Amino acid sequence: MLAIIGAMAGFLTTVVEGVTGHMRQKQELKKAVMENRMRLAQSDSEFNHEWEMKQLENAGWKDDVLFFAWIGFFIWSGVDPEGAAEVIRAWENLPDWFLQITFWVVAAVLGVKKIGDYLPSAIRGLRDAAGGPR
């Protein structure tokens, strides 16, 4: 029983650290945007000012939506396996090229971006739950 409580505490720690790290990244992004605005405002010779600023300001939110939708599907499949199976069957009816493109997009977002965001915290949480060194 103690091991289960320890594992749950480690999991909750992982989630909290992931959210905290995400919020910290958002603060760092806001700081970088402000610094970049000041740098670009001083230089009128920069022709891509507006585009560059939009790229900095919009970074990440689409990835977050996809990430949480994907995680939500896995949680939902644990709660309502029959409903999730219906979604999977509907996906099987889609053209193969569409599925391949969709899975490449998901893999790129979840594999590259989110694993880099959350994996270090998850490993620390699992190590702490197992009683490993800090």
Per-residue confidence (pLDDT) for residue 95, from 0 to 100: 93
Check pLDDT > 60 for residue 40.
yes
Per-residue confidence (pLDDT) for residue 70, from 0 to 100: 81
45 vs 68 pLDDT, higher one: 68
Category of 59 on φ-ψ map: left (φ > 0), alpha (ψ -120 to 50) or beta: beta
CB 108 within 8 A of CB 101: no
CB 12 within 8 A of CB 124: no
| DSSP letter for each residue of 114-132 | IHHHHHHHHHHHHHHHTT-
> With a threshold of 0.75, does the pTM exceed it?
no
Could you say which DSSP state residue 94 is in?
A: S
Mean pLDDT (whole number) for 91-111:
84
Distances (CA, A) of 73 to 1, 39, 69, 83, 132: 29, 42, 6, 10, 31
Q: How far apart are CA 10 and CA 6, in angstroms?
A: 6
Mean pLDDT (whole number) for 69-74:
86
CB 33 within 8 A of CB 57: yes
